[in-house]
Structure 1
Amino acid sequence: MLDGSWTSTTQFSGCGCVWIDSFGKIQFMGTRNYIRRESGLHSEVEALQWVMENMLQHLKCQSFGTDCKELIAMIKESHAWPSFAT
């Protein structure tokens, strides 16, 4: 699971993740901050990219979860991609 955070009034954004194995045991938790992105959606995409790059080093077969409806729509529905434009 991953999540990105964003506010329009701060200099930084952040993200966090938790890796839960197939037995339901937490294997890894991590956080990261970075220069604030253009929007909350950009922050969620940054979080997904960071988590994928790091987790795929451990196992090739992964599934990722997020509660960001716009990010899910971007991945599932190609016509939703224009909503990511700044």
Structure 2
Amino acid sequence: MAPLADEFAAVRVGNEVWQAWKRLHEERGWPWFGPDRDLPDWAYMPKPLAGEFPSTLEAVSAALASFEVAHARLTGERTTKQEAAE
């Protein structure tokens, strides 16, 4: 994970960005961390991208896509987007 450390940013548990990450996980059928009350105040998620997005959910989706590309470069794996294009 160390080579990908720059791809993450702190997100305050419970804020708007946190809630968007939670919604994105739900949409994808991914497990979530558990009740917010049981978590630390901050968690690290893929960092947001510069630019305007119509919604916070779309911003975190773009952040995830960017992280997937960085991870794929590091590991040589294909991204979900690359697989869908085939």
**TM-score, normalised relative to structure 1:** 0.35
- Structure with the bigger percentage of helix: 2
Question: With CA pairs under 8 Å and 6+ residues apart, which has the higher RCO, 1 or 2?
Answer: 2
- Structure with the bigger percentage of strand: 1
